[in-house]
């Protein structure tokens, strides 16, 4: 290779490294499930020297404006929050700047809202609403922190901190952090004294990041940590992809689910790590065609479908696949839980190639779920059928299998194959089944003899009546 060519190649490599030095440097010591970003920041040309100014940032000007038609080609779609008044010092309230940047980006197709690295942005409760031009990217390379002043949340509190509503093709990505600073919300009581002397945080705790009524949602590479409640929620969304995301909060932080799905279809969650105080992935009513794979879960409560049917409601869940994942130091492994008194159905569920380590109960169906001290007995239940467990291996701390189904609406077509679960220490609890119909194929460890053969429904219509509307 000619010396001149080698020289220019070396210059290009040095430039690419400098482009990402700040982003990578801000994440030193942070464990990420996926590889680091290897491309320049979106919208910036390789080999163009220093990064261009962000649109709307004019020296000596007042409030920023939307870029004009004559802005240099290739940069007119970038909306840096610093250009819209954000300080990024971790103290100044940057909520208004974020909202203004969003409003400008909303009218531009393929816009990029940039949250730059090496800054710490204090942002209060905020909604990024559509309809907007499609294909907006929120590039989060810095850190976004939630307020810990109770006044920021109102007297009753709020259900969400950051939410995206009614959007088409929205992407959240970057090597940055969304930090809910939830420790001020957690405690032995519903409220805990905050850092503001004599003031209390509201009873209602917010979800850190929520998407509602959107199509084509992508979340990748970011870290979400210490949410006051659920970390990442998708409600009434279609075509959702989550990858290479890290979610973390203390194991004893209450109700801090990792990812919560409800009324959402065509969802894929993969190659991500979750450690939290509740379910790593929680799949609720209205969900179908969901794939979860290559997940590292724990500590937490495992990967769960439900609870479904609370307060005599109808729940419909179908075509759920969980595979090639690991669950460790967790309350449960893979679980389906429903309340007594509900209706509807869960059908077409597959759990396969799951490695468990020190999990209290790795395989769970619980149709008597109750998170209160007393729950009354009910005759109706959400029907559960067509559930397979294949190649579930590892260690458990209390019981390998717990399948507790409804007296009046038994579970059917439950299949367990290639189960190999060993106790962490000597365990006297044997696999438990109640009103569970199916089969355990191949020799299993421990032996599972408690399943009933056949189908309890002499009249198929009696089962179908529970599935009406699903």
Catalytic residue numbers read 278, 301
Signed CA dihedral, 207, 171, 116, 281: sign only: positive
Helix and strand tally (H, E) in the chain? 3, 30
Q: Which stretch of DSSP H or E encloses residue 289?
A: strand 288-297
Q: 10 Å Cβ neighbour count for 11? A: 11
Backbone angles phi, psi at 174, to 5 degrees: 130, 175
315 neighbors 353 (Cβ within 8 angstroms): no
Q: Which residues contact 34 (CB under 8 A, 6 or more apart)?
A: 220, 221, 243, 244, 271
318 neighbors 347 (Cβ within 8 angstroms): yes
Query: Beta partners for 285?
Result: none
Tell me the residue ranges of DSSP E strands in 107-264: 112-115, 120-122, 126-129, 136-140, 143-145, 160-165, 168-173, 177-179, 207-212, 215-220, 223-225, 232-235, 238-243, 246-248, 259-262
295 neighbors 272 (Cβ within 8 angstroms): yes
Signed CA dihedral, 254, 384, 432, 434: sign only: positive
Q: What is the spatial distance between Cα 272 and Cα 219, in angstroms, rounded to a whole number?
A: 11
Place of tokens 């109102």: 154
164 neighbors 178 (Cβ within 8 angstroms): no
Signed CA dihedral, 369, 317, 286, 169: sign only: positive
3-class DSSP string for 340-405:
CCCEEEEEEEEEEEEEEEEECEEEEEECCCCCCCCCCCCCCCCEEEEEEEEEEEEEECCCCEEEEC
For 177, 265, 322, the CA distances from 334, given in Å and listed in that order, are 28, 20, 9
Q: What is the spatial distance between Cα 313 and Cα 295, in angstroms, rounded to a whole number?
A: 30
Query: What is the DSSP secondary-structure string of 157-194?
Result: B-SEEEEEES-EEEEEESS-EEE--GGGT-SSSS--B-
């Amino acid at each position: 290779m000619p010396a001149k060519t080698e020289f220019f190649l070396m210059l290009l490599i040095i430039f690419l490294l400098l482009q990402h030095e700040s982003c990578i440097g801000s994440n030193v010591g942070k464990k990420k499930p996926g590889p680091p970003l290897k491309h320049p920041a979106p919208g910036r040309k390789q080999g163009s020297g220093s990064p261009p100014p962000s649109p709307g940032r004019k020296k000596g000007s007042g409030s920023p404006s939307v870029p004009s038609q004559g802005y240099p080609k290739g940069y007119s779609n970038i909306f840096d929050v610093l250009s819209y008044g954000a300080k990024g010092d971790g103290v100044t309230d940057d909520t208004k700047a974020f909202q203004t940047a969003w409003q400008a980006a909303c009218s531009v197709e393929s816009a990029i809202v940039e949250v730059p690295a090496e800054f710490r942005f204090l942002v209060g409760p905020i909604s990024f609403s559509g309809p907007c031009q499609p294909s907006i990217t929120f590039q989060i390379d810095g850190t976004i922190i939630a307020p810990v002043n109770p006044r920021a949340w109102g007297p009753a509190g709020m259900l969400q901190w950051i939410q995206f509503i009614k959007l088409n093709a929205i992407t959240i990505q970057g090597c940055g952090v969304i930090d809910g600073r939830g420790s001020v919300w957690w405690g032995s009581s519903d409220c805990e004294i905050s850092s503001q002397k004599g003031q209390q945080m509201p009873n209602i705790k917010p979800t850190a990041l929520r998407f509602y009524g959107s199509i084509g949602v992508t979340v990748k590479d970011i870290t979400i940590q210490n949410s006051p409640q659920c970390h990442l929620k998708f409600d009434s969304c279609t075509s959702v992809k989550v990858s290479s995301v890290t979610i973390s909060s203390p194991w004893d932080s209450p109700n801090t689910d990792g990812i919560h799905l409800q009324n959402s279809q065509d969802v894929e969650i993969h190659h991500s790590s979750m450690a939290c105080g509740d379910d790593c992935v929680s799949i609720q009513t209205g969900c179908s065609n969901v794939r979860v794979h290559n997940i590292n879960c724990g500590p937490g409560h495992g990967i769960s479908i439900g609870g479904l049917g609370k307060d005599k409601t109808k729940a419909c869940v179908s075509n759920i696949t969980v595979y090639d994942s690991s669950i460790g130091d967790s309350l449960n492994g893979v679980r389906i839980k429903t309340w007594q008194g509900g209706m509807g159905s869960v059908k077409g569920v597959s759990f396969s190639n799951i490695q468990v380590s020190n999990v209290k109960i790795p395989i769970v169906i619980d149709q008597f779920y109750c998170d209160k001290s007393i729950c009354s007995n009910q005759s109706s239940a959400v029907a559960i059928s067509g559930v397979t467990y294949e190649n579930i291996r590892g260690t458990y701390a209390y019981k390998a299998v717990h399948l507790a189904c409804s007296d009046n609406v038994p579970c059917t077509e439950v299949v367990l194959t290639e189960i190999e679960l060993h106790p962490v220490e000597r365990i006297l609890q044997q696999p438990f089944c109640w009103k569970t119909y199916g089969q355990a194929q191949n020799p299993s460890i421990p032996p599972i003899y408690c399943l009933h053969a056949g189908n309890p429904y002499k009249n198929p219509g009696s089962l179908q009546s529970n599935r009406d509307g699903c």
